[in-house]
Amino acid sequence: MSETAIPAAHADPASPPPGDAAATAWRVACAVADIPAQGARVVAVAGRPEIAVFRTLDDRVFALVDRCPHKGGPLSAGVVHGHAVTCPLHNWAIGLADGRAREPDEGCARTVPARVEGGMVWLAVETG
């Protein structure tokens, strides 16, 4: 896992993120190449919980708040398999697309909208 911080200068005001555009904005997080395949990179946003950005073997990118819904384990340190990550603390499997714990476990990690453009990962981060 690697870590990066989102610089405010990389805002993309032309394209509002999904949901409440007044409270979130797209920011460049990192290059896709900065995320190891089947791994994660931690993105720090000032005053907000850290975000884990995952890259799957088929080169899809997903983002979740880096906190397991069970007891807060760092999902960024988990093992990515398919489109899920297994938490390193107690092995819950969490879906990367919806943040939901796989049965029989119950709970949901917060998802963060992510998109890839020109090899760069953009995240819709809270600003308000």
Q: Give the binding range for ligand FES (CB under 6 A) out of 11-19, 29-37, 44-52, 65-73.
A: 65-73
**Residue 34: helix, strand or coil by DSSP?**
helix
Residues in the chain: 128
Q: Which residue has the tokens 């969490």?
A: 94
Establish if 70 lies at the interface with ligand FES (CB under 6 A): yes
Establish if 44 lies at the interface with ligand FES (CB under 6 A): no
* Residues numbered 73-102 forming contacts with ligand FES, rule: CB under 6 A: 73, 87, 89-90, 92
Check if the beta carbon of residue 106 is closer than 8 Å to that of residue 97: no
Q: Give the binding range for ligand FES (CB under 6 A) out of 30-38, 48-56, 63-71, 108-116.
A: 63-71
Query: N- to C-terminal Cα distance for the chain?
Result: 28
Establish if 53 lies at the interface with ligand FES (CB under 6 A): no
